Amino acid sequence: MKKVLTIAGSDSSGGAGIQADIKTITAHKMYAMSAITALTAQNTIGVYGVVDTPPDFVAAQLDCIFTDIAPDAVKIGMVSNPEIIQTIAEKLREYQAKNIVIDPVMISTSGSRLLSDDALETLHTALLPLGTVITPNIPEAEVLCGREIKTKKDMLQAAEAITASLDTAVLIKGGHLSGDAADLLCQTGNAPAAFLKEWFESPRVENSNTHGTGCTLSSAIACNLAAGRRLEESVRRAKKYLTGALKEQLDLGKGAGPLDHMYRIP
């Protein structure tokens, strides 16, 4: 049995965060473990409150997990503040965690801050370079590279800039642009190609219930890495899982509802 750890915030409505991750990991028939960084009072309409976990309690959760059941992959989502980020980075290094997928969650689609303003620098310097791959959406990628992204050409330039600055692979998710749902994977290459880039595209599913798409994609990538697959193949399979869960057209709640994780991987 492969084991996957999610380090993320709790979403009381079950659509994003820890809950989406555990559902995704379970749908992949893997064993899910969690270290909770924050509680959110949240539903399909918005985020109404956030309580951060004390950093030493994040450390305690990670110590319990890594000294007992070593994960085959780690997914990281909402990390809230600089102290929690430093704690996670130290523990990942201490336990030599492998297959680390970091979704640099900053602001929910409903518009609430899930990362404090003063945490960006620490995220950039202490945590993101530890990722096997990081998976920003368009607004997050804009923050990471300091430029606007309006087109697929902008995505190509942004991906190179982020890969170069962090020396890690980046998957920029295109869900926030119009047209097909096109995600771009960029990794450093060997000369003469400085960067290896690959698009992962699917037709846009007509479904406004997209709460937790980013969380689901990143934990599905972690599951595939845990299974020993290469990064490109892991992204391809994760996107297929996500698209299938969106196509089920589950419609819960009064706002942007969650995905259907009862969808079975073919």
Ligand X SMILES: Nc1ncnc2c1ncn2[C@@H]1O[C@H](COP(=O)(O)OP(=O)(O)O)[C@@H](O)[C@H]1O
Q: Rule CB under 6 A: which residues touch ligand X?
A: 109, 137, 173-176, 181, 183, 202, 204-205, 207, 210, 213-214, 217, 239, 242-243, 246
Taking alpha carbons only, the member of 101, 93, 94, 92 closest to residue 73 is 101
234 φ, ψ (degrees, to nearest 5):
-65, -40
Q: How far is the CB of 103 from ligand X (least distance, A)?
A: 7
Q: How far is the CB of 78 from ligand X (least distance, A)?
A: 11
108 binds ligand LCLJCK34 per the rule CB under 6 A: yes
Q: How far is the CB of 47 from ligand LCLJCK34 (least distance, A)?
A: 7
CA distance 69 to 101: 19
What do you get for the CA distance between the two ends of the chain, in Å?
19
Query: Is 214 labeled as catalytic in the residue annotation?
Result: yes
Residue 26 vs 188, nearer CB to ligand LCLJCK34: 26
CA distance 214 to 135: 8
Residues 6+ apart with CB under 8 A from 70: 3, 95
Taking alpha carbons only, the member of 211, 246, 234, 212 closest to residue 101 is 234
Q: Which of 2, 75, 173, 239 is catalytic?
A: 173
Which member of 17, 55, 131, 136 binds ligand LCLJCK34 (CB under 6 A)? Answer: 17
174 binds ligand LCLJCK34 per the rule CB under 6 A: no
Residue 95 vs 255, nearer CB to ligand LCLJCK34: 255
259 in Cβ contact with 217 (< 8 Å): no
23 binds ligand LCLJCK34 per the rule CB under 6 A: no
- Known catalytic residues? 173, 210, 212-215
